[in-house]
């Protein structure tokens, strides 16, 4: 599927405004944490199917607190559920934004790289003798392959 070429600029002022907006988001969510990959893997996940289960469990616990042990913090569960539900639309919006930013960055990088390949091809073809030899060699280093190390031959006796 062909992509639409992107022809845009991002002014320093707009870039700074976006970075300020990101800082504001972080400031408004001071409780955000950063989990390691192992921590993420170890946690039970609440997806769309689990949301109904959690909601029902909270309702059961709220209406029947007598069967819960005294150590169970129903109010903390309620806060966790409320925070999750409040953050869910933010996650969806930021995920969509992240995808748009990623796709745009990928497409513009691809366009820039394709243009650079054209420049390199033209410079190789018509740059000899016009002072571009050193630059063409330098640019060609991008495509240089490292020689494969030969396996040491076993000594036979």
Task: Tell me the two tokens of residue 36.
Answer: 């390691």
Mean pLDDT calculated for residue range 14-35: 97
Task: Tell me the two tokens of residue 100.
Answer: 């748009």
Whether the model clears a pTM of 0.85, i.e. scores above it, the answer is no
Confidence band, pLDDT 50/70/90 cuts, at residue 127: low
Number of domain units in the chain? 1
Question: Does residue 155 carry a pLDDT above 80?
Answer: no
Mean pLDDT calculated for residue range 109-138: 85
pLDDT > 70 fraction of the chain, expressed in percent and rounded: 91
113 in a domain, yes or no? yes
Give the whole-angstrom CA distance, residue 63 versus residue 74.
11
20 in a domain, yes or no? no
Cβ contacts of 54 within 8 Å, gap of 6 or more: 46, 81, 84
Q: What's the whole-number average pLDDT of the chain?
A: 90
Nearest to 58 by CA among 44, 79, 43: 79
23 in a domain, yes or no? no
Mean pLDDT calculated for residue range 94-116: 95
7 in a domain, yes or no? no
Give the whole-angstrom CA distance, residue 29 versus residue 23.
10
**Where in the sequence is the domain holding 113, given as residue range(s)?**
48-143
């Amino acid at each position: 599927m062909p992509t639409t070429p992107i022809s845009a600029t991002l002014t320093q002022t707009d870039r700074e405004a976006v970075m300020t907006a990101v800082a504001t988001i972080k400031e408004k969510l001071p409780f955000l944490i950063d989990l390691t990959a192992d921590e993420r893997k170890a946690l039970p996940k609440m997806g769309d199917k689990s949301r109904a289960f959690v909601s029902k469990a909270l309702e059961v616990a709220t209406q029947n607190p007598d069967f819960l042990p005294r150590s169970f913090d129903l109010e903390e569960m309620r806060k966790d559920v409320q925070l999750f539900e409040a953050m869910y639309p933010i996650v969806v919006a930021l995920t969509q934004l992240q995808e748009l930013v990623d796709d745009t960055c990928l497409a513009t990088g691809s366009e820039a790289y394709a243009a650079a390949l054209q420049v390199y091809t033209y410079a190789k073809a018509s740059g000899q003798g016009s002072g571009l030899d050193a630059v063409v060699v330098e640019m060609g280093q991008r495509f240089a392959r490292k020689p494969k190390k030969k396996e040491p031959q076993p000594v036979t006796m």
